[in-house]
A and B are shown apart, each in its own frame.
Chain A
Amino acid sequence: MADNFSPDSEPTTRTLLRRVLDTADPRTPRRARSTRSGAQRDLLETPSTRRQRSQTKMTARRRSHTAASVDRLARVQASGHLEEQTPRTLLKNIILTAPESSIVKPEAVVKLVPSPQVVQPSRRESSRGSLELQLPELEPPTTLAPGLLAPGRRKQRLRLSEFQQGMDWGHLSQEPRENADASSLTSSLNLTFAMPLQPQSVKRPGLARRPPTRRVVDVGTFLQDLRDTSLAVAPPGESHRTPVATVPTDTVLEDTQPFSQPLAGHSPSVHHSLPCPSPSGAKEVEGPASRRTWSSGPGLQNNHSGPGKPAQLLARKVEEVEALAVGFPNISSISGEDGVEPLQNGVGEEAEESMEKSMSVREVEKAAEEQGSARAEEPEGHTEVAEAAGSLGAIEAKEPEGSSEDEDPSASPKLAPSTPEFLRTRRLQSPEPAPPPSTAVLPSELPKRLSARIPPRPRIPGSRPRQDPYKAGLNHYAKLFSFYAKMPMEKKAVEMVEKCLDKYFQHLCDDLEVFAAHAGRKTVSPEDLELLLRRQGLVTDQVSLHVLVERHLPLEYRQLLIPCAFSGNSVFPTQ
């Protein structure tokens, strides 16, 4: 390879870095790639050559690895990013590849500096090795090479420390800036570089993973925002009613009408069961006008089922909000406004209290909902829903919507005061069914235990063995039948199978008797069985008995049936 740097007498790390930096163009955006790549290749090659020269104990494989890695690096760099071939990029790669931060102290780093250069070639990270070799290579590495091959991690740490050292010398001042984007390591290096005077003392603060910044939910601000947005959206809600094409508007339309009723009395129920109560509520309050939106509501709900429950919740809440917002004028027109307004006020108070409860739910919904329009409506929905739902709604919101949906249609007909009761009763009902069955079980268990204590001894034991073991055996094969069939079976079919088995056994015994008699024996032997299988068509010239045995019998039986040769010139079972 090119021995460009050979004329330089023992270039120090500093000089090497200087050379690298000088050759590398700091801001070359894909220009002169070839030139730079060539320079880099030279740079890479020289360290490799030097490495080979200096390391006497390096194995040929390592050298080949390094050479291959060097070539690979050059190719990768040339083929990969546009600015890859700069020493800066090399350093970046080194930093990227370098694992943990170098916690090594400066003194230790200095001592270990020569070792890494020897070990680097084995690392296959030519980029790292090349540059780092440049740095410490000039020092006598041979002696230290073998001993330090084992601690791989330490090498990497050392390399970084080397970088830090180099930084001290001010050569790598430019590198960190480019490496900052590479990884945390680079960021750490950046930090170290920022403090050139203390490269080793820095404990890699940049490497520490930043804890995920979590925005603490400010309930007060959230409520305020909701109110503001709701107020802002209330007027536009009416305008939304006319366009029916957009889905969010549909939801708004639906909500407007249904919410008129919820305000009157269904507000608490509306919240938790978003889709059902709102349409049902709308029906009652706003006759034909609500039906228009209400019909679209269920359809919308169906559409929303796709996105998922959070989306549904959001949509429904939006609907509710819109319904509330738009329903007010309708309500006023259709039903008494007085009832609505005081309800709203009361609901508003409840809303704040329940806001916190439902906050988590809404937040989740908010996160899930990605529709911009829905988002705009969400704040309104939240405020409106909170107002409408009230405390009950907040509690119910977390319940499964399905259950609530089922209950809502029935609950909707009732007025507001009745709905809470219904909800309460519904909730009570769910735990109620559980206890009654358990109580029913208990009394039945008692008599059973009593009867169990008195086993049925007066039975005649004589007649039992005939049927039971025979049935048990047949049962065994019947289970095998159902297993082989891989399909559900009727009980009658199982009985039928048992009958067939019975007939089969009879045939079997008769045949075996005939075969044994034909052979002049009174004992059925395996030969008779093989003949039987052959006559049945199970054993053919293609399929032998042993094949069938291997297929269907477990190992223990196979060993007994198939003669196998063992040590000592013995065959088992003996033929």
Chain B
Amino acid sequence: MIRRKAPLGFLKRVFKRQKPHLRLKTSSDLLVHLNCLLFVHRLAEESRINACGSKCGIIKKEHVLAAAKVILKKSRG
């Protein structure tokens, strides 16, 4: 099963790497993790739809690529 622990340290490190001049609040850590979860969820759904659309039993790179295009555009904010 997937471990339910949020990689908060990883998220903080990534944010720090990207924006060293910014800080992250405690609660926002979890919300960032939630955001990532939702993003991954949407990406997986889209990839699965693409794979099933091409009648493949396996998710391939093309499916993920096409899905990422759509979802990243959606998550632009």
- A493 touches which of B3, B13, B63 (Cβ 8 Å): B63
Check: B25 CB closer than 8 A to any chain A CB. Answer: yes
Within 8 A of B (CB), among A473-513: 473, 476-477, 479-490, 492-493, 495-497, 499-501, 503-513
Report the separation of the CA atoms of residues A495 and B64 in the bound assembly, to the nearest whole angstrom.
Answer: 10
Is the Cβ of B22 less than 8 Å from the Cβ of A522? yes
Min distance, Cβ B10 to any Cβ of chain A, angstroms: 3
Within 8 A of B (CB), among A510-547: 510-513, 516, 522-526, 528-530, 532-533, 535-538, 545
Report the separation of the CA atoms of residues A52 and B46 in the bound assembly, to the nearest whole angstrom.
Answer: 75
Is the Cβ of B39 less than 8 Å from the Cβ of A504? yes
Is the Cβ of B48 less than 8 Å from the Cβ of A486? yes
Is the Cβ of A470 less than 8 Å from the Cβ of B75? no
Report the separation of the CA atoms of residues A530 and B35 in the bound assembly, to the nearest whole angstrom.
Answer: 9
Report the separation of the CA atoms of residues A505 and B21 in the bound assembly, to the nearest whole angstrom.
Answer: 16
Is the Cβ of A507 less than 8 Å from the Cβ of B59? no
Check: A472 CB closer than 8 A to any chain B CB. Answer: yes
Within 8 A of A (CB), among B10-25: 10-11, 13-15, 18-19, 21-25
Residues from chain A with Cβ under 8 Å of B61 in the complex? 490, 492-493, 495-496
Chain B interface helix/strand/loop/mixed? helix
Chain A interface helix/strand/loop/mixed? helix
Question: Considering residues B4, B7, B74, B75, which has the most beta carbons from chain A within 10 angstroms of its beta carbon?
Answer: B75
Contact mask for chain B residues 32-56; partner A; CB cutoff 8 A; 1 contact, 0 none? 1111111111011101100100000
* Chain A residue at minimal CB-CB distance from B51: A487
Is the Cβ of A488 less than 8 Å from the Cβ of B23? no
Sort chain A's interface into a size bin: 35 or more
Question: Considering residues A477, A479, A488, A511, which has the most beta carbons from chain B within 10 angstroms of its beta carbon?
Answer: A477
* Chain B residue at minimal CB-CB distance from A483: B2
Min distance, Cβ B52 to any Cβ of chain A, angstroms: 8
Residues from chain B with Cβ under 8 Å of A490 in the complex? 58-61
Of A221-229, A238-246, A550-558, the stretch lying at the interface with chain B is A550-558
Min distance, Cβ A481 to any Cβ of chain B, angstroms: 5
Is the Cβ of B35 less than 8 Å from the Cβ of A529? yes
Contacts A504-B72, A507-B77, A524-B28 given; does A485 touch B6 at CB 8 Å: no
Min distance, Cβ A447 to any Cβ of chain B, angstroms: 34
Residues from chain B with Cβ under 8 Å of A151 in the complex? none
Instruction: List residues of B whose CB falls within 8 A of some A CB.
Output: 2-4, 6-7, 9-11, 13-15, 18-19, 21-28, 30-41, 43-45, 47-48, 51, 57-61, 63-65, 68, 71-72, 74-77
Instruction: List residues of A whose CB falls within 8 A of some B CB.
Output: 469-470, 472-473, 476-477, 479-490, 492-493, 495-497, 499-501, 503-513, 516, 522-526, 528-530, 532-533, 535-538, 545, 548-549, 552-554, 557, 560-561, 573
29 pairs from A and B in contact (CB 8 Å cutoff): A469-B13, A473-B13, A476-B10, A480-B37, A480-B41, A483-B2, A483-B44, A484-B44, A486-B48, A496-B61, A500-B64, A500-B68, A505-B14, A507-B76, A509-B19, A512-B19, A513-B19, A522-B21, A524-B25, A526-B25, A529-B32, A533-B34, A533-B35, A533-B38, A536-B38, A537-B74, A538-B38, A552-B37, A553-B30
